[in-house]
Amino acid sequence: MSDWLISLEGTEAGATLATGLALLAAFLHALFGALQKGRYDPWLSRGAIDLSYGLIAAPFALFVVPWPEPHMWPIFGVVWIIHVGYKIAQASAYSFGAYTVVYPVVRGTGPFFTVIGAWLLFGEVFRPLQWLGVAVLMAGIFGLAAYNLRHIVVDRARLPLALGLAVMTGGFVALYTTYDAYGIRATADPFTFLAWFFFIDGFFMPLVQAIRWPRLAVKPVLGPLAFRGVIGAFVAFFSFGSIMVATRLDKVGEAAVLRETSTVFAALIGWLMLGERVGPRRLGLMALIAAGAVIVEIGG
């Protein structure tokens, strides 16, 4: 399968596949966010998910895929540091703010920074029409956040901190998207990068939880938490794997923008799973997000 994927790099078929993978990643990323923000403390949820995907990835990294080339180890070190920062910022943002407010802000800041990062790292240049699409998409995303802020009950005292953490998390999203794209392009086999990424990335948050566990006032039942972790692990495999393969097959910036349609899926998940109401204004903002993604694709 690796040879087949590599053969598609830079081709029209590869670009088409990258588009589909980016949209799949968008849906799965929204589902992943809902799993982390659900009934448990976001730190606990993320710890359970990370431990699950680290353990599942270990035999594939050690015994199935080719081992990383020597030059990949420093790259994995930087990748690990970036993702640790991202996880801390994300869990903190979810702890201080409502998911339907925080999530769109995180995803709204990501594409702008990622397009700039892709220009700096890969020399990708967005055309004026594509920048218009980014602006439309971001307007829809931030409009959705503003609408949610106005119509749901939030802790106003902690809101500035939550929004600041959300913007910081968006910066980390852009950083890991561009640098991970560099990493998956630096190795001969893309599945080597994916397997080793999940293996080495899976054990930081569980260590954090082991430290926090004795201080928890209410300790959750481990069975349901572990089950959520396993489900989240498989969502993470396909979500992260899809966007990383997309960035190897085609342009990083375009894949990143398409992934940010995850805010549309997040709103739908909020409606279907959390009982949130979706009125005409939210539908209009969701259409604006989708229109921005379409404009970016047409402009490219």
* DSSP state letter for 60: I
Per-residue pLDDT tens for 177-220? 999 999 999 999 999 999 999 999 999 989 988 888 888 878 88
- The structure's pTM equals 0.85
For 134, the enclosing helix (H) or strand (E) is helix 128-151
- C-beta of residue 1 within 8 angstroms of C-beta of residue 208: no
Q: Could you tell me which residue, 269 or 64, shows the higher pLDDT? A: 64
DSSP structure class, residue 158:
T
In terms of DSSP H, where are the helices of 152-203? Answer: 159-186, 190-201
Residues 269-295 have a mean pLDDT of: 76
**Which pLDDT score, from 0 to 100, does residue 276 have?**
64
Share of the chain above pLDDT 70, in %: 92
- 300: which DSSP letter? -
pLDDT at 32 (0 to 100): 78
> Is the CA virtual torsion 214, 216, 220, 226 positive or negative?
negative
Question: Residue 200: helix, strand or coil by DSSP?
Answer: helix
Which DSSP string do the residues of 215-257 spell out, in sequence order? Answer: G-SSPPPHHHHHHHHHHHHHHHHHHHHHHHHHHHHS-HHHHHH
For the chain, domain boundaries: 2-124+154-250
> What mean pLDDT do residues 233-249 have?
92
pLDDT tens track for 149-158: 777 666 667 7
Question: Per-residue confidence at 109, pLDDT binned at 50, 70, 90?
Answer: confident
Q: Where are the beta strands (DSSP E) in the chain?
A: none
